[in-house]
Amino acid sequence: MIGVENLSVAIHGTPILRGVSLQIAPGEVFGLVGESGSGKSMTALALMGLLPEGAEAGGEILIDGRDLMRNSEPDWCRVRGNDIGMIFQEPMTALNPVRTIGDQVAETLTIHGAAEPRAALEIARDRLDRVGLSHIGMDAYPHELSGGQRQRVCIAAAIALHPRLLIADEPTTALDVTTQAQILDLLSALVEEEGMGLLLITHDLGVVAGMADRIAVMRQGEIVETGPTAQVMAERNHPYTRALLAASSHVPERAAAQRPDPLLQVEDVRREYPGRREGFRRGPPIVAVDGVSFTLHEGESLGLVGESGCGKSTLTRAILGLDPVQGGDIRLFGRSIVPQMPREMRAGIQVVFQDPYGSFNPRWKVDRIVAEPFHLLDAPPRGSERHDRVAEALTAVHLSPDDMAKYPHEFSGGQRQRIAIARALITRPRIILLDEAVSALDVSVRARILDLLAELQDGFGLSYLFVSHDLTVVRAITDRVMVMQDGRFVETGETEAVFNDPQHEYTRALLAAAPRLDLAS
Amino acid sequence: MRRLPPALLIGAALSAAFLAIAALSLVWTPHSVTGVSISERLQPPSAQYVLGTDQLGRDLASMLMVGAQTSIAVALIAVGIGIALGVPLGLAAAATRGSLLDEIIMRGNDLIFAFPSLVIAILITARYGPSATNAILAIGIFNIPVFARVARGGALPLWTLDYILAARTAGKGRVRISVEHILPNILNLLIVQATIQFSLGILAEAALSYVGLGAQPPVPSWGRMLAEAQTMIYSHPMLAILPGLAIVLMVLGLNLMGDGLRDALDPRLRRRRA
């Protein structure tokens, strides 16, 4: 048994964890669920003896009844990798870009003196085969692999010494749904074969519902509810568990009336990138969007779904008139925006991006940020009128007009996304493009932003093009959906029809891979 | 208020002291630096001549004060040239990344980099004769690619950020985005680079006057004072030590200030210290 007993951690006097206890048995998958800041990653770091500087810990860290809390750093080094392995969210930064994957897996073995360098490489090969990379050479570098393959390398290194516990901190958050399903399958199989425990840390209830034996729900540094997965999911004793589950499958109420007038018509659009440079020549162009057509009607909410690299972002940028298209036509409000979007038309189509941290110039105050699209108007409002318009936009997204004088870093992720929506609203556009606009948010925040979007659609008569990889969200907020793969639409139709009865095999694969809450019951 | 790094305080104090001395020399010096008086030559420090006199009987303290003025003026204008031309070029290159313009600007930079400022100074001097103006030009030209590279390097990652995309959807052109969004966010890089280039400019000016390509007599300059003292280094070492010390302290002060500013302005370093 590995676990923590009554663990508390404070950093510079601020309590981060309070009385956290959990035990993980060999061969068991333990799911630790919570939103950002709940302390789930800090629990994992405590288990690895990797608490940040300035942290004071109390309680016990137990491996087979032995307390490691007072371990010295050299003692911890023997535990890490040997007894406990760990994998992280971002497999690209978890691997050293200038060393081959074979070296990096073998390193775990040689550091712990478990094998001579030559033997270590052989074991590394064996471990890489085990995680499904038998077709990849030992001398491959991380950048040559896909995200899923990199995460497999991390797993191979983490299990090289057959640890008794594997900690996986958001192991699939950065991956596409189909890749996520494969990685989770691999982890399940490894738990069974190796008889090791798995501490699976995630914000996604769907992920743990499908594979954890027991779960614990964390909030503000405390475990609020714990027990066998099926039981917790069914009973939901703590109000926070109920709120979390409700938020994960939240469907906003939508009352917007649709009219059949086409606002945006995309006809056979083709988007190419220049090919890779080969000496002084360029290779054949890379086709990112390959002849797609669709129409967005007034008051409609249209979903665009696909995995990373399918061309949905490229298509988005073409529609916004940011990049030229190499073929086809895009008509906005009946006027063609190819090859160049007339400036005055930009006011009618605005965008909200994914990253609530990179969306604003950190040196600008909120009023200047929100008012930036006024640049599009021939006679931008000035003085008190400008002030009133910004205040109006902030009020519309349920922020206070007093927030105008603040800098973006003074807001939480959800509030920043509200600022981004206010900026998109300021020119009173008819279309708002939402590019993964809720993907980086916690589920409860996401639910409130979805409510806000539904409310604004009704109030301002907006049409949405909702671009996302998240099927649950797309299902909740769209009327029609388009599924994109390799630059083409493979399936389009009414959202409910597509989700209930997918016609194309890729749509079926996507839906099958998506984590589902109902699997636990 | 968080504590400023000590390097920044020491560097700023040294630099400010030299700036003050140079400014003072504009209106007052203990003695005239053009007044040659052979009878007073090579005097030891005294109440009349605080640091003594040189081989032509000029007051060494006054020479050093006016020399600071020469050094700072040359380096400052040279940095100004570098910023005024280099930063717009770098911003333009970043804004048109991968285009022919970007290619022309950056290859032009490489070309200038291939000539050390001393070689450029010799080229200019060969054509127009030695003077402080030509020293400024030579050092200034060398500063252009430095600032162009720093500006481009700082701007490139910013161009991929969402707030730049948002500005483009707000209909703003590349020039406007460069000025409103990019420039304020690379200002810290530029300030740090400017202090470093300023100190390099002081050194370069000293080197150029040392070989006789900088400010011409009778305008005093630290580099030429060193050169003239060379022949008397064993009999009157102070004549060489004092201008040498002035150069070292000024450059040290600016470098410390540059390092300190980098620490104070870099948000990543700032967070680590907090």
- Min distance B179 CA to chain A CA atoms (Å): 12
Query: How many CA atoms lie less than 13 Å away from A317 in the CB half-sphere?
Result: 17
Q: Do A351 and B168 touch (CB under 8 A)?
A: no
Region of poorest pLDDT, from A212-226, A265-279, A455-469, B237-251 = A265-279
> Does residue B256 contact residue B18 with C-beta atoms inside 8 Å?
no
Q: Verify cis geometry, omega within 30 degrees of 0, for the bond prior to A339.
A: yes
Q: Do B169 and A320 touch (CB under 8 A)?
A: yes
Task: Extract the runs of DSSP E, i.e. beta strands, from A147-251.
Answer: 165-169, 197-202, 214-219, 222-228
- Min distance B171 CA to chain A CA atoms (Å): 6
Q: Which residues of A touch B (CB under 8 A)?
A: 317, 320, 322, 343, 346-347, 349-351, 353-355, 358-363, 372-376, 420, 423
Residue ranges of the alpha helices (H) in A236-295? 239-248
- Choose among B266, B268, B270: nearest CA to B188: B266
Residue B274 has pLDDT above 70, yes or no: no
Sheet holding A2-11, edge to edge: A14-24, A2-11, A55-63, A66-67
One-letter amino acid identity for A255?
Answer: A
Residues A215 and A206: their CA atoms lie apart, in Å, by 12
Q: What secondary structure letter does DSSP report for B181?
A: I
**B174 → chain A, closest CA residue:** A322
- Min distance A322 CA to chain B CA atoms (Å): 7
Residues A85 and A44: their CA atoms lie apart, in Å, by 11
The beta-carbon neighbor of A353 closest among B162, B171, B181 is B162
One-letter amino acid identity for A235?
Answer: E
Per-residue pLDDT at B2: 58
Residue B252 has pLDDT above 90, yes or no: yes
One-letter amino acid identity for A498?
Answer: V
Residue B90 has pLDDT above 90, yes or no: yes
Could you count the other beta carbons within 10 Å of the beta carbon of residue B161? Answer: 21
Which token pair is A493?
């139709």
The beta-carbon neighbor of B161 closest among A358, A374, A375 is A358
Mean pLDDT of the residues in chain A:
89
- Choose among B61, B54, B33, B57: nearest CA to B236: B54
> Does residue A432 contact residue A350 with C-beta atoms inside 8 Å?
yes
Q: Chain B residues with CB inside 8 Å of A375's CB?
A: 170-172
Q: What is the mean pLDDT of residues B9-20?
A: 91
Q: State whether residue B165 sits within 8 Å of chain A by CB.
A: yes
pLDDT band per the 50, 70, 90 thresholds, residue B272: very low
Backbone angles phi, psi at A55, to 5 degrees: -90, 135
Q: Do A346 and B165 touch (CB under 8 A)?
A: no
Q: Chain B residues with CB inside 8 Å of A349's CB?
A: 169
Which token pair is A33?
């669920």
One-letter amino acid identity for A133?
Answer: L
Residues A508 and B25: their CA atoms lie apart, in Å, by 82
Residues A212 and A226: their CA atoms lie apart, in Å, by 12
Q: Is A304 helix (H, G, I), strand (E, B) or coil?
A: strand
Residues A269 and A448: their CA atoms lie apart, in Å, by 34
> Which residues, other chains included, contact A503 with Cβ-Cβ below 8 Å and sequence gap of 6+?
A491, A493
CATH superfamily, region A2-248? P-loop containing nucleotide triphosphate hydrolases (3.40.50.300)
> Does residue A442 contact residue A450 with C-beta atoms inside 8 Å?
no
> Does residue B137 contact residue B201 with C-beta atoms inside 8 Å?
no
- Min distance B152 CA to chain A CA atoms (Å): 18
Instruction: Mutate one of B100, B163, B172, B266 to test the A interface: name it (highest A CB count within 10 A).
Output: B163
- Choose among B138, B118, B18, B120: nearest CA to B77: B138
Q: What secondary structure letter does DSSP report for B36?
A: -
Q: What is the DSSP string of B135-180?
A: HHHHHHHHHHHHHHHHHHHHHHHHHTSHHHHHHHHTT--HHHHIII
Mean pLDDT of the residues in chain B:
86
Could you count the other beta carbons within 10 Å of the beta carbon of residue A74? Answer: 7
One-letter amino acid identity for A460?
Answer: F
Higher per-residue confidence, B43 vs A203:
A203
- Choose among A145, A6, A470, A349: nearest CA to B168: A349
What residue has token string 């404070």? A10
Q: Distances in Å between the alpha carbon of A417 and those of A166, A176, A411, A458?
A: 35, 23, 9, 19
Q: Verify cis geometry, omega within 30 degrees of 0, for the bond prior to B218.
A: yes
Which token pair is A223?
């475990």
Q: What secondary structure letter does DSSP report for A80?
A: B
Which token pair is A262?
């086409």
Per-residue pLDDT at A385: 92
Q: State whether residue B171 sits within 8 Å of chain A by CB.
A: yes
A432-454 burial: b if 16+ Cβ within 10 Å, else e: bbbbbbbebbbbbbbbbbbbbbb
Residues A117 and A12: their CA atoms lie apart, in Å, by 42
Question: So where are chain A's domains?
Answer: 2-248, 253-341+465-521
Beta bridge partners of A132: none
> Does residue B194 contact residue B83 with C-beta atoms inside 8 Å?
yes
pLDDT tens profile A257-303? 777 889 999 999 999 888 777 777 777 888 889 989 999 999 899 99
pLDDT band per the 50, 70, 90 thresholds, residue B236: confident
Q: Chain A residues with CB inside 8 Å of B174's CB?
A: none
> Does residue B59 contact residue B49 with C-beta atoms inside 8 Å?
yes
Instruction: Mutate one of B100, B103, B160, B162 to test the A interface: name it (highest A CB count within 10 A).
Output: B162
pLDDT band per the 50, 70, 90 thresholds, residue A256: low
Which token pair is A57?
């810990």
Which domains does chain B show, CATH number per domain?
Answer: 6-28+44-269 (1.10.3720.10)
What residue has token string 């972002």? A313
- Min distance B90 CA to chain A CA atoms (Å): 20
Residues A221, A224, A225, A226, Cα dihedral to 10°: 30
> Does residue A47 contact residue A167 with C-beta atoms inside 8 Å?
yes
Q: What is the mean pLDDT of residues B170-183?
A: 91
Could you count the other beta carbons within 10 Å of the beta carbon of residue A351? Answer: 28
Q: Do B170 and A346 touch (CB under 8 A)?
A: yes
- Min distance B268 CA to chain A CA atoms (Å): 14
* Residue A445 host element (H or E): helix A443-460
Asked if domains A2-248 and A253-341+465-521 share a fold, the reply is yes
Look at domain A253-341+465-521 and name its CATH class.
Answer: alpha beta
* Residue A472 host element (H or E): helix A471-477
Q: Chain A residues with CB inside 8 Å of B161's CB?
A: 358
Q: What is the mean pLDDT of residues B102-117?
A: 89
Per-residue pLDDT at A493: 92
Q: What secondary structure letter does DSSP report for A121?
A: H
pLDDT band per the 50, 70, 90 thresholds, residue B271: very low
Q: What secondary structure letter does DSSP report for A258?
A: P
Q: Do B165 and A355 touch (CB under 8 A)?
A: no
Q: What is the mean pLDDT of residues A375-397?
A: 91
- Min distance A302 CA to chain B CA atoms (Å): 20
* Residue A86 host element (H or E): strand A84-87
Residue B223 has pLDDT above 70, yes or no: yes
Q: Chain A residues with CB inside 8 Å of B180's CB?
A: 361
Q: What is the mean pLDDT of residues B186-197?
A: 91
**B172 → chain A, closest CA residue:** A375
- Cα R_g (chain A), whole angstroms: 25
Beta bridge partners of A286: A273
Q: Do A376 and B184 touch (CB under 8 A)?
A: no
What residue has token string 């425990």? A197
Q: Chain A residues with CB inside 8 Å of B167's CB?
A: 372
pLDDT tens profile A69-123? 888 888 888 888 888 999 988 877 888 989 999 999 998 888 888 788 888 999 9
pLDDT tens profile A319-362? 998 888 998 899 999 888 888 888 888 889 999 988 877 889 98
Residues B164 and B158: their CA atoms lie apart, in Å, by 7
pLDDT tens profile A212-240? 999 999 999 999 999 999 898 888 889 99
